[in-house]
Structure 1
């Protein structure tokens, strides 16, 4: 399990954007970075700086994935046929924590990771406790019967700030979900603009 050293709201402020679109994000009130030097005027971003920020934003959005694991996704995206940036997003959206977050079984992607690690999720009838598990199209993902009435699950289902995307089929009454297809970048409901092409450029230097 990746250790998340920074608070998720601090990631918002460091990126200069409300990357999850949460109403309670402090970025809505303070549009500058954290710390005593957060309000200093920033110089013009270099190409490297722009690419680095794009990488950090994508990493942060998916639960602040470790650099080692994120680089593995980049390597795998290059091996696959087609556009590497689209492949990268496809791999990230196939993460089990991303799928149950999209299905609104949990309120945040960080909660998704913990929910999986604690054994609340089954894939095709078998318990899976690895957040980075790669879901295949058609896999049946379900919340364990004993976990369906947890406050976390009920809170997530009531959230009005985001909808379930078309590529995830959900049965709320049974707390089950299926990934129906690998999404294109334009289909992924990011609250802010993501640039996976710059991530590819960053690692390709």
Structure 2
């Protein structure tokens, strides 16, 4: 396992929330943080703490992106005219690993990153192995023929744990997905509440 693959359980426990809505999340059994001090009573968070937590949760959800990666995406969102929080969500959902995860080609966002990096995915017929590759409306994302019988793919497609959002058109018989449109916050099927407005406040003050 990679460091980030094993980190998904730590992220859930650190946040105290099952952020991906997975049945195996340790938060389903215990809602306190990891480590010997995890059960201490939580103090009320300051405004800064609330904003930082919102940033950590959103950053962690997309495969525990590095601060440099996440801040770069935020910077792009801030430069576009419109609601920065909504733009941020749209840019995150246009990442190729996010699309592969949303299409249910693999079970987790961590697996999606590895799946893309190992060359199992094409965009408009061309192999792309960069997880942060940004898809555009109308792009067709597909699992390569030689990868369609991988156990991780078959298990993900058969899973009833989550649904495919309507901004993707997915054909699981062919293992293809068309990115129909860039979603807003209300379109994204997060298992817990995400607050990109607090992320915007965090970066505006820091």
TM interval, shorter chain, is over 0.9
Structure 1 runs of 4+ off > 4 angstroms?
none
SS at the partner of 2:86? Answer: helix
1:1-205 to 2 correspondence within 5 Å? Answer: 4=4, 7-205=7-205
Residue 44 of structure 1: CA displacement? 1.2
SS at the partner of 1:19? Answer: coil
- Partners of 1:35 and 1:81 in 2: CA distance: 43
Please, what is the CA RMSD of the aligned residues?
A: 1.2
The structure-2 alpha-carbon separation of the partners of 1:3 and 1:31, relative to structure 1 and needing over 3 Å to count, comes to closer
TM-score, normalization: structure 2? 0.97
**Deviation digits for residues 91-142 of structure 1 (CA, Å, limit 9, x no counterpart):** 0000000001000000000000000000000001111000000000001111
Residue 81 of structure 1: CA displacement? 1.4
SS at the partner of 2:65? Answer: coil
- Partners of 2:121 and 2:204 in 1: CA distance: 36
Contact conserved, 2:92 with 2:98, CA < 8 A, in 1? yes
- Partners of 1:98 and 1:176 in 2: CA distance: 14
**Deviation digits for residues 167-201 of structure 1 (CA, Å, limit 9, x no counterpart):** 01101111100110011111100000000000011
Q: Which runs of 5+ in 2 are unaligned?
A: none
Residue 6 of structure 1: CA displacement? 5.8
- Partners of 2:27 and 2:55 in 1: CA distance: 20
Aligned pair count reads 204
Contact conserved, 2:5 with 2:111, CA < 8 A, in 1? no
SS at the partner of 2:4? Answer: coil
Residue 3 of structure 1: CA displacement? 6.2
Contact conserved, 2:165 with 2:189, CA < 8 A, in 1? yes
